[in-house]
Amino acid sequence: MPRDYYEVLGVSRTAEDGEIKKAFRRLARELHPDVNSQDPDAEEKFKEAAEAYEVLSDGERRATYDRYGHDGLRSGGYAPNFDAFGSVADIFDAFFGGGGPFGGGRPGGPEQGGDVAVAAEIDLSQALTGAAVEVSYEAIVRCEHCKGNGAEPGTPIETCDRCGGSGQVRSVARTPFGQVVRAAACDACHGDGRVAKDPCHTCRGRGRNVNRTKLTVEIPAGIADGQRIRLAGRGHAGDHGGPVGDLYVLVRIREDTRFLRDGDDLVTAVDLSAPLAALGATVEVPTVDGSVELEVPAGTQPHETLIVRGQGMPALRGRHRGDLRVVVNVVIPRRLKREQRELLQQLADTLTDEHLKTDEGVFHKLKRAFGA
Cα separation, 300 vs 356, in Å, equals 12
Predicted pLDDT of residue 38:
64
Q: Cα dihedral sign for 11, 15, 21, 22? A: negative
Rg of the Cα atoms in the chain: 37
Predicted pLDDT of residue 247:
94
Find residue 198's DSSP bridge partners. none
Predicted pLDDT of residue 78:
65
Q: Please report, rounded to a whole number, the percentage of residues in the chain having pLDDT higher than 90.
A: 38
Give residue limits of the domains in the chain.
5-96, 106-144+207-255, 260-369
Predicted pLDDT of residue 104:
38
Predicted pLDDT of residue 227:
94
Q: Do 5-96 and 106-144+207-255 agree at the fold level?
A: no
* Strand order through the sheet with 265-273: 260-262, 265-273, 324-331, 305-308
**Helix runs in 32-170, H state only:** 42-56, 59-75, 88-96, 124-129
Predicted pLDDT of residue 204:
85
Asked if 228 contacts 147 with a C-beta cutoff of 8 angstroms, the reply is no
Predicted pLDDT of residue 346:
85
The rounded average pLDDT for each run of 10 residues, N- to C-terminus, in the chain (372 residues) is 87 90 80 62 81 86 86 70 46 45 46 89 95 93 88 91 84 61 76 86 87 93 94 88 90 95 95 92 94 94 94 89 95 86 83 67 56 54
DSSP state of 364: H
Count other Cβ atoms within 10 Å, centred on residue 97. 13
Residue of 18, 161, 178 lying closest to 93 (CA atoms): 178
Superfamily for 260-369? Urease metallochaperone UreE, N-terminal domain (2.60.260.20)
Say which CATH architecture domain 106-144+207-255 belongs to.
Sandwich (2.60)
**160 Cβ contact partners less than 8 Å away, ≥ 6 residues apart:** 167, 186, 188, 189, 192, 193, 194, 195
Tell me, yes or no, if the pTM score tops 0.85: no
Find residue 118's DSSP bridge partners. 249
CATH class of 5-96: mainly alpha
Contacts of the segment 27-32: beta carbons below 8 A, 24+ positions apart: 28/92, 28/95, 28/96, 28/101, 29/101, 32/88, 32/92, 32/101
Predicted pLDDT of residue 189:
81
DSSP state of 63: H
